[in-house]
Structure 1
Amino acid sequence: MTSQAERLRSKRIKQRQYAGRPAKEGVERYPGGQIKHTEREKEVRAVAIEARQRVYFKGKEVSNDMVSSPYAGYVLGRLFLDGRITECEREAGDAYATQMVRYYGLTGISFPSARAQSLFSIKGFDGETTSERARMAREASNRMMALEGTLLRLEDGPRVKTTIYNTCLLDLEIMRTMPDAQLLWLKRGLKELHFQLGLAKSKEAV
């Protein structure tokens, strides 16, 4: 006959065994019992893909490959996946955004899209610390002004520039459903940028 102390001890052991949520089944584990990192990555990836599907492709028949594509992570890329812009135009938009990010980073100006960074870390640097950084910042500024001048000289230049700014830099989701007239401004600017950024040898090749 077991004593009361033994019964209580047995009860506590059983409670420890079933405490918390049940262990996951069907996952690979290390010898120590910890779930392997690859399994955790798969779980995180599945959650991210499901969230993209729900937010950006709701009601659309798209493959998992399309949803998991790097292009599905930003508005210009999603316009490309939607078939509204060509690969050349997407490349131009990506290159333009890269040049602008370089400009903002070197000059110490906060990037205009707060969603792309920590709101508590938005600040410039204290000033030019080396002549090399000053030279790089000056070159980036000149490049930025040249690109903006290129866009403004086009037909409907201010509208073209604003459309590209809102799509490529601010990454506004509403730009994904822009009307056809505004899409023409976007495509006009991206085609010109494709040539100006050296991605094509001639405008006719775009």
Structure 2
Amino acid sequence: MMSKAQKLRAKRKAQLGRPRKAEAERFACGKIKPGWSKRESEKEAMAVALAARKRMHGLETGSAFAGYTLGRLFLDGRITEAQRVAGDDYTAAMTRYYHLTGIPFPSLRAQVIGRVQGHAGETSEARHRQARKAADMMMRLEGVLLKCDEGRQVKTTVFNVCVMDYEGLRMMPEPQLLWLKRGLSALLFDKGLREHGEKDYSFNQE
């Protein structure tokens, strides 16, 4: 039978160090299997992210589409999958343009302020060609959006949703949503033309 002093020492000893990881995967000798802590950390991080997503956006899903405004509009059923794909392609083209030309990405949420800087004055010929190609694509896509009915509103709405990723636009009114759909449909049509070698067109559908 343990004395009171022995019980106190045992209690203090049990409180030393970190608590035992009861659910850890272990070898027969009791040693925790490699990689378990990393997997648990990833699970904890995912749980925190999903809880925050549910609290902030009302979405209870692990889909990557819930991580940005255009994707959330798709999950809400306000745009089609094809329109989301067109918006993702537009975002990729704009990101490529900003990266290759050295122009800072306009969304503060997508950059580290202390690292914002352009490229050196002298660049390789290959990079110059890539930057020129990216700039040509940016101007083409901008032209596609401006050719739509109410082109300026369409261009601004698509840019603010796809590039600036403004969360408030998830609840945009129907007239503004029509501008977004019109722009995304035009971008989707242009993508089809580029893939089949066409050069120009006139497009003004919803």
C-alpha separation between the residues in 2 aligned to 1:195 and 1:77? 20
Contact kept in structure 2, 1:110 and 1:123, CA below 8 Å:
yes
Moved over 6 A (4+): 199-204
Q: Which amino acid aligns with 1:23?
A: R
77, 97, 103: which one pairs with 1:83?
A: 77
Contact kept in structure 2, 1:28 and 1:39, CA below 8 Å:
no
After superposition, give the CA deviation of every residue in 1:123-163 in whole Å (9 maximum; x if it has no partner). Answer: 11213420000011011101101110111121110100000
Aligned to 1:26: 23
Aligned to 2:168: 174
Contact kept in structure 2, 1:128 and 1:134, CA below 8 Å:
no
Counterparts of 1:159-198 in structure 2, within 5 Å, are 159-198=153-192
Q: Which amino acid aligns with 2:49?
A: A
Counterparts of 1:101-180 in structure 2, within 5 Å, are 101-180=95-174
The alpha carbon displacement at 1:36 in A equals: 3.4
Q: Which amino acid aligns with 2:31?
A: G
The alpha carbon displacement at 1:198 in A equals: 2.7
After superposition, give the CA deviation of every residue in 1:76-129 in whole Å (9 maximum; x if it has no partner). Answer: 000000000000100000000000000000000001111112221111121342
Contact kept in structure 2, 1:29 and 1:36, CA below 8 Å:
no
Can you give the 5+ residue segments of structure 2 that lack an aligned partner in the other structure?
none
- RMSD value, Cα: 2.6
Contact kept in structure 2, 1:99 and 1:140, CA below 8 Å:
yes
Aligned to 1:17: 14
Aligned to 1:3: none
C-alpha separation between the residues in 1 aligned to 2:143 and 2:164? 19
Are the structure 2 counterparts of residues 123 and 176 from structure 1 closer, same or farther at C-alpha, using a change threshold of 3 Å?
same
C-alpha separation between the residues in 1 aligned to 2:145 and 2:25? 54
**SS of the counterpart of 2:117?**
coil
Can you give the 5+ residue segments of structure 1 that lack an aligned partner in the other structure?
1-6
C-alpha separation between the residues in 1 aligned to 2:17 and 2:49? 26
Q: Which amino acid aligns with 1:82?
A: D
The alpha carbon displacement at 1:38 in A equals: 2.0
The alpha carbon displacement at 1:37 in A equals: 2.2
Task: Work out the number of aligned pairs and report it.
Answer: 190
Aligned to 2:57: 56
Aligned to 1:4: none
- Deviates most, 28-37 or 44-53: 28-37
**SS of the counterpart of 1:23?**
coil
**SS of the counterpart of 1:76?**
helix
After superposition, give the CA deviation of every residue in 1:38-75 in whole Å (9 maximum; x if it has no partner). Answer: 22222221111111111111xxxx6x4xx210100000
Identity %: 49
The alpha carbon displacement at 1:14 in A equals: 5.2
